[in-house]
Chain A
Amino acid sequence: MTLSHLVLAFQWFYLLYFIGINVGYMALTFIAMFRMGRCMERRQSESGPPVYSGLEPPISVLAPAYNEEATIAASVRSFLQLNYSEYEIIVVNDGSKDGTLDVLIREFALYPFPEAYPHRVPTQRVRGTYRSAAHPNLRVVDKENGGKADALNAGINASQYPLFCAVDADSILRRDSLERIVEPFLEDPNTVAAGGTIRVANGCQVAGGFLVKADLPRNWLALFQVVEYLRAFLSGRLGWTPLNALLVISGAFGLFRKETVVEAGGYRTDTVGEDMELVVRLHRHLRLAGRRYRIAFVPDPVCWTEAPEDMKTLRNQRIRWQRGLAESLMLNRKLLFHPRSGAVGWLAFPFTAFFEWLGPFVEVSGYLVMILAFFMRAVSPEALGAFLFVALGFGLLLSMISLLVEEVSFRIYPRADHILRLFAAVVAENFGYRQLNSLWRLIGLIRWARGGKAKWGEMKRTASWRVPD
């Protein structure tokens, strides 16, 4: 086989991969657009505050906290102001080395309470539990450090309600976040999990723990992530929902049926992608048992979170996410092409495995092969240019469709200059950012393949959007 044959074979492979990934995402995007239309029609007819009957399922909001002394009080205060008929907040202090527990005790008049509850999911030792004299629906579990998944499992054990909502301690919610995300559970009692759209908080103004003004970040990295999140949530996740094949619910905000999660074993503590792994495992557990269930997605922006603004933190995050994805798929590989796995095992899983799991390898090698072939004169400048141009074009198109979906739905960014800046980001991300991402994800893939313990790492948080209380 000559070099030119090899190059030809590679070109056909990458062409087919390119067609496959873009056709796949286009299909998801069109499904998402249709779903969004129905959702917005319903939103437009709403008027006035909701009326509660008392039959809404009560919710336990679980907020794991590790070294959050600077922000935990504000976060809990915002959680206490959520609009919902009945809910409790359980903050799990996961062995913080700073004054997180002291802040909670002081700010919320906590006192030790001898909670008696079954420890159905194994966790690290619980040192004590507290209740609040000022807020009857606030409880704190103090435990030895075990990581986020372990903390969530401790929260699950302590929760008294049939649904639990896993949030990050620094998640910024809307007052109606619980009302929105519980809707799938009201509409269909077979719903076992629901997620919502996560937005980037950078550049926004937050006061009292709630978003008061949406704006775009000045930082280019964060701006690229705004576009990414729009693509991921408004196209990707919304597109999989009608097929009941959504593979991930963000750890920043997700609602789950407690008994189903406990039955499936709770969160795994040996993966960095515990949020995705749980959802994939729920699919495996329920599909293979032949049980009727639904995992839903609510397109409303229910949660805002800070995105990394420096390369190091972003890099660590993307490496971790790719590892988490690889672990989640590998741990639940039984789902792939299983006769009972339906759209999850025959569509979503292979799509994700091929285009997300192996995607970084294909993308990075594609660039390298094309550049190498160009320098070896096996590929003409015109062919290389064409390849890059088409790749840029489809990247632009998918992002623009997501912007359009955002425009006809929530229109979070109201000004004309917002659209121009987003468009600039849509174009600019194709000249380095996407390629860097692919490289980082490839590193994550390699590290997963080599084994070894993954670390969360530290995220440099600026919280510059937070207006002082």
Chain B
Amino acid sequence: MGGAASEGVVIAAYQTGLGVVAISLLLLAEVFVLRAILAAREERRRRVLDEWRPLFVQAMVEMPDRVPAAPRHDAATLLGLFNHYHQTLRGDATESLNRFGRAAGLDEAALALLRHKSLSGRMIAAAALGHFGERRAWDDLLRLAQGSYPALSLAAARSLMQIDAGDALPALLPLIMARGDWPAARVAVILTQAGPDAISQPLADAAIQAPPAVAARLVRYLAAAHYDVAARALRQILATTEDEQLIASCLRILNDPRDLEMARRYLHHSSWHVRLQAASALGRMGAPADTEGLVGLLSDPEWWVRLRAAQALAGLPFLSTGELRSLQASQPDENARAVLEHAIMERRPA
């Protein structure tokens, strides 16, 4: 680069360098300013928690003599503490905590925070309103449950179920079925916490009517339902479906000796996932007549089916270790002997 143009480039480079160094120093200043702001916020939060924590603890047992009004500015902090204690409490203590929260105005604060812009604020508020069982928040929570942000919509769904599971489940079932962004593990927590009385029949009905891919997911949730209601649905589904994933899901839950015949039908299914679950089912509720069927699976082409069959055999209460050893010795297949050795040792650890 020569001459004036070159000089211009050099000047531009120096100015650019100065500019980015200046921005870097500004960022350093911003880090310190942010740190100071966050430290002040954290200090305030600590003071608020130090003041209110003893009151919350006392409130779990008896209402404190003096219940201060919750400062609006600290609503999120106090609601967070409220939610934290609710996670660990059961029974009368939760009611006591709710009475205290209402006396302090935390229910009103949660209602206001639910309409705030902040995502974390809305999640905290949604959780708190669920613990309060606050019916006034119903419409807002339903709207949030239908919203696009998964974590917030799930928090809202959970609260709706806490407020009134009977009313909430019909509104939430379509969402549970349709929303692939709701993790099954989280949905299962919500349904389990609602209790089998609230969820059993609606879930069972929905599982029967849903398309196979959706039904397979719903069937997994039936583990939290009353078994007799779930079993009726499982039998109806198994009588009509040929979907492998759905069959496997149903077999995973079956646990009634009356359904043995149904489980036995799947021992030779073309899908190894189904055979595996059939073996597991027989291991849970099998009769002496099922020994032969399980022994047959010891030479299954799929290794996991072999191991599960061996574990099912080892789990049958009417088979002694000696009988299992005899069975093992009689197997011509080396793999069958190996999985039986594994299963027998699991039954009788050293």
A→B interface (CB under 8 Å): 4, 8, 11, 38, 41-45, 47-49, 51-57, 111-118, 131, 133, 186-189, 380, 382-383, 385-387, 389-390, 392-394, 396-397, 400-401, 403-404, 407-408, 411, 416, 419, 423, 426
Q: Are A111 and B350 in contact (CB under 8 A)?
A: yes
How far, in whole Å, are A272 and B121 apart by their CA atoms in the complex? 46
Q: Are B32 and A416 in contact (CB under 8 A)?
A: yes
Q: List 14 A-B contacts (CB under 8 A).
A: A51-B189, A51-B193, A53-B188, A54-B188, A54-B223, A116-B310, A116-B341, A118-B303, A386-B9, A386-B14, A393-B24, A400-B24, A416-B32, A419-B35
Q: Are A187 and B150 in contact (CB under 8 A)?
A: yes
How far, in whole Å, are A186 and B180 apart by their CA atoms in the complex? 10
How far, in whole Å, are A447 and B17 apart by their CA atoms in the complex? 35
Q: Which chain A residue lies CB-closest to B123?
A: A45
Q: Are B83 and A48 in contact (CB under 8 A)?
A: yes
Q: How many residues of B contact A (CB 8 A)?
A: 65
Considering the complex, which residues of chain B in the window 1-55 have a beta carbon less than 8 Å from any beta carbon of chain A? 1-2, 6-7, 9-10, 13-14, 16-21, 23-24, 27-28, 30-32, 34-35, 38
How far, in whole Å, are A61 and B132 apart by their CA atoms in the complex? 40
Q: Are A389 and B14 in contact (CB under 8 A)?
A: yes
Q: What 0/1 readout, one digit per residue, does chain B (233-257) give for beta carbons within 8 Å of chain A?
A: 0000000000000000000000000
Known: A11-B1, A41-B120, A53-B188. A416 touches B83 (CB 8 A): no
Q: Are B83 and A392 in contact (CB under 8 A)?
A: no
Q: In the assembled complex, how far is the CB of residue B7 from the closest CB belonging to chain A, in whole angstroms?
A: 8
Chain A residues within an 8 Å CB radius of B307: 116-117
Q: Are B83 and A47 in contact (CB under 8 A)?
A: yes
How far, in whole Å, are A34 and B208 apart by their CA atoms in the complex? 43
Chain B residues within an 8 Å CB radius of A392: 17, 21
Q: Which chain B residue lies CB-closest to A391?
A: B17
Q: Most A CB atoms within 10 A — which of B2, B17, B127?
A: B17
Q: In the assembled complex, how far is the CB of residue A463 from the closest CB belonging to chain B, in whole angstroms?
A: 30
Q: Are A404 and B13 in contact (CB under 8 A)?
A: no
Q: In the assembled complex, how far is the CB of residue A72 from the closest CB belonging to chain B, in whole angstroms?
A: 22
Chain B residues within an 8 Å CB radius of A390: 13-14, 16-17, 20
17 additional A-B pairs beyond A11-B1, A42-B120, A397-B27, beta carbons within 8 Å, are A38-B119, A41-B120, A43-B120, A53-B192, A54-B188, A115-B342, A133-B349, A382-B14, A383-B9, A387-B13, A389-B21, A390-B20, A393-B20, A400-B27, A407-B34, A419-B32, A419-B35
Determine which of B24, B83, B185 lies in contact with A53 in the assembled complex, contact meaning CB atoms within 8 Å.
Answer: B185
Determine which of B1, B120, B339 lies in contact with A383 in the assembled complex, contact meaning CB atoms within 8 Å.
Answer: B1
